Structure 1
Amino acid sequence: MGSHASTKTADETTSAGFDYIFPAIRGVQAGREFYVSMCPLRLIPRIFLFDDDELAPEVRAQRVLNKGRLPALTRYLLDNPDNYVFSALTASVDGDMHFEGIAGEGPGMRAGQIRIPMSARFLINDGQHRRAAIEQALRENPDLGNETIAVVFFHDAGLERCQQMFADLNRHAVRPARSIGVLYDHRDDLANLTRLLAMRSPVFKGHIEMESSNLSKRSRKLFTLSALHFGTKCLLQGLKVDNERAAALAQAYWEAVDAQVPDWSLIRQRTLSAPDVRRDYIHSHGIALHALGRLGNTLLQESTSPAKWRSRLKLLRTVDWSRSNTDWEGRAMTGGRVQKSQQNLTLTVNYLRHHLGLELTPEEQSVEDAYLRGEA
């Protein structure tokens, strides 16, 4: 069954009698010993195996490798050789593991080294994408081979146990909210710019939810950091400007929009409450910020003159942002609830383009035609 087969290959027979030796710390979980070690990156592709992708899911012990994830992971490793972080791999060893402590009693019993026959099979239970990215990165930068990664070794107790380990390791995994990802990302220029907008712009300062990517009904915040990030990303897409100019453009644009959406300033003045405005209007939802970013990108691409695009933005005053406006149904709303699918976003952008007298792209026109035919 995949990596759990007991038949030895010619290479395994040749390696009989030879051992891998890893420095290790011994631990116990659920009555079973396990070991934590450090392994040079150059060894990772050579000794850690995948299950065969062609095997049926029920006889594999892990998911099929998603190759689409590898370029970004590999690039991350190659672009940040002095500042990357990879968490530990978890592996099952189908073979003997012999632990030798540095002392016969006391704390020294838990530290030492493990010997694993070279004929043993190593199966990754968690971290196969990191393993594949390491393999690809080493081809471009072999010097990374001397770096190390933590590995947690468990004894392979059969396919069922390995499958259960995979399920348990991923059972409670939760992807962090996009907002906190932007908040803590100091490597990405756009994330840095978004944080500055959130903390310094008079439009957003004190009114951005920095951690969660969803606003509760009672939240006094105006937008989430992730919504501001997406909106600003769309705004600056394809503009050939340096970071300083990008920051200035983004702040100027959002301030110009703010001047045409009076409710935003009324929230800051506490004349209106954010929960009430979100309940009654579209303009204080993430889809509006995203759509306004795309709209702004068109204006900035068409004219570098602030006077011209500011003048065009005045037409936002003609937009009826209230939820009671039936034009929003099927665009920003579905069944009376604000939605943010790609189709909803495009149809919202189309609606705003119409009010500002801007042409639709061929893709936007196609979506608009389908909507008008009742196919959306």
Structure 2
Amino acid sequence: MVAGFEYAFPAIRGVQASREFYVSMCPLRLLPKLFLFNEDEMIPELRAQRQLNKARLPEMARYVLENPDDYVFSAITASVDADVKFDPFGDDPDSRKMGVLRIPMSARFVLNDGQHRRAAIEMAMRENPSIGDESIAVVFFLDQGLARCQQMFADLNRYAIRPARSLGVLYDHRDDKALLAKLVVARAPVFRDVVEMERTTLAPRSRRLFTLSAIYTATAALLQNVEIEDPEERAKLAAEFWEVVGAQLPQWEQVQQAKITAGDVREDFLHSHGVVLQALGRVGNSLLHHQTADWKNQVEKIGTIDWRRNNATLWEGRAMIGGRVSKAQQNVLLTTNAIKKHLGINLSADETRAEDALQRGDRRDG
């Protein structure tokens, strides 16, 4: 770049670990030009970021495009390898914190955090260039070399923890499946006071039988490809299904009535675990598609299944592996198969393949 030309960013100056840094706003259309990412072929030791996972980008770009009025992206963090100049707005202490950050156009920028946001925004702008007029917060640090940039990446991600899936479902007002799950929990008496709305795992002494994330997944399986458009009607049908299921499993009601503890039920029985809930949702989906008029009578038969965890003959290799409950997709399919066999329902193609694989494994073990 020609010497003398520069970028001018309105900025706030701060100090962390005795080093100055600057917070500014950057127009989205400027991101691809400022923050280039061409390190894909470099070995990790010479990079300051993880490799770009291009598979993540379409979903992130779609999120921006489908929610133009309420998408949210947090600030990106970059190191600047150049002699920058900060011109404060005044001489008093408050005014000296605000001013204009001047960065030579010849500067090299290294993204410490936010490379996927940058790439997704670039992808979204190809389809909708108008979003380029919007902006994103940028935190600028002065470049201290590769080792410092790598350490910043490690530090920025050291305590990054994804929120529990149940909490994500609870706070998601955009996902129709999340809205459905919350409606079902609110409408179905069988779930009253026994659903953990925030955590995805239940502590041994938790008074809850189910997690919201498990009900989300199970109810989505129940209503997959069921042609009911109205959200209220979908919630009504799902709540009715779970009510019929709960009526066959007396331990669920006994927990609500404080006759037994939720921990004891989870310890002794499988029917409140996520793998079984999802399997029941799959079974219900098959009934809704193929036995619409008689699905309640069929569901009532699940009360005669031996749901005890110590029934290893039935559940080991299906809902459990080595005595531990497993919610892997293969285990969901095999648990579904056990329920369908008991109810006399035909298996789907993927369920048949899972069953054949299990039987082949049993024969080899023998």
Same fold flag (TM > 0.5): yes
| SS of residue in 2 equivalent to 1:131 | helix
Letter in 1 for 2:8: I
Matched with 1:344 is: 331
Matched with 1:6 is: none
Cα deviation, residue 240, structure 1: 2.2
Contact 1:198–1:206 (Cα < 8 Å) also in 2? no
1:47 and 2:34 correspond: yes
**Following the alignment from structure 1 to structure 2, what is the Cα–Cα distance between the partners of residues 328 and 150?**
52
Letter in 2 for 1:174: I
Q: Tell me the TM-score normalised to structure 2 length.
A: 0.96
1:333 and 2:320 correspond: yes
Contact 2:81–2:108 (Cα < 8 Å) also in 1? yes
Cα deviation, residue 115, structure 1: 0.4
1:323 and 2:318 correspond: no
Unpaired runs of 5+ residues, structure 2, are: none
After TM superposition, where is structure 1 displaced by more than 4 Å over at least 4 residues in a row?
A: none
Contact 2:209–2:272 (Cα < 8 Å) also in 1? yes
Matched with 2:62 is: 75
Cα deviation, residue 317, structure 1: 2.1
Match of 2:85 among 94, 98, 102: 98
1:309 and 2:305 correspond: no
**Following the alignment from structure 1 to structure 2, what is the Cα–Cα distance between the partners of residues 239 and 65?**
38
Matched with 2:250 is: 262
**Following the alignment from structure 1 to structure 2, what is the Cα–Cα distance between the partners of residues 340 and 191?**
20
**Following the alignment from structure 1 to structure 2, what is the Cα–Cα distance between the partners of residues 132 and 303?**
48
Letter in 1 for 2:269: Y
Q: Tell me the TM-score normalised to structure 1 length.
A: 0.93
1:276 and 2:264 correspond: yes
Select between 296-305 and 218-227 the one with higher mean Cα deviation: 296-305
1:368 and 2:343 correspond: no
Letter in 2 for 1:266: Q
Q: Aligned ranges for residues 8-23 of structure 1 at < 5 Å?
A: 12=1, 15-23=2-10
**Following the alignment from structure 1 to structure 2, what is the Cα–Cα distance between the partners of residues 193 and 374?**
38
Cα deviation, residue 303, structure 1: 3.4
Cα deviation, residue 119, structure 1: 0.9
**Following the alignment from structure 1 to structure 2, what is the Cα–Cα distance between the partners of residues 100 and 80?**
37
Cα deviation, residue 373, structure 1: 2.1
Cα deviation, residue 105, structure 1: 2.8
CA deviations over 1:162-214 (Å, ceiling 9, x no partner):
11110000011001000000111111121112112223320102110011001
Match of 1:157 among 139, 144, 163: 144
| RMSD between aligned residues | 1.3
Cα deviation, residue 246, structure 1: 1.2
**Following the alignment from structure 1 to structure 2, what is the Cα–Cα distance between the partners of residues 260 and 323?**
17
**Following the alignment from structure 1 to structure 2, what is the Cα–Cα distance between the partners of residues 227 and 273?**
19
Contact 2:87–2:99 (Cα < 8 Å) also in 1? yes
Identity, in percent, stands at 58
Matched with 1:3 is: none
Cα deviation, residue 51, structure 1: 4.2
Contact 1:92–1:125 (Cα < 8 Å) also in 2? yes
Cα deviation, residue 116, structure 1: 0.5
**Following the alignment from structure 2 to structure 1, what is the Cα–Cα distance between the partners of residues 283 and 55?**
30
Cα deviation, residue 260, structure 1: 1.7
**Following the alignment from structure 2 to structure 1, what is the Cα–Cα distance between the partners of residues 263 and 147?**
50
Letter in 2 for 1:329: E
**Following the alignment from structure 1 to structure 2, what is the Cα–Cα distance between the partners of residues 355 and 333?**
18
Select between 46-55 and 106-115 the one with higher mean Cα deviation: 46-55
CA deviations over 1:233-276 (Å, ceiling 9, x no partner):
11111222211221111111111111222221222122222111
**Following the alignment from structure 1 to structure 2, what is the Cα–Cα distance between the partners of residues 45 and 303?**
54
Select between 194-203 and 249-258 the one with higher mean Cα deviation: 194-203
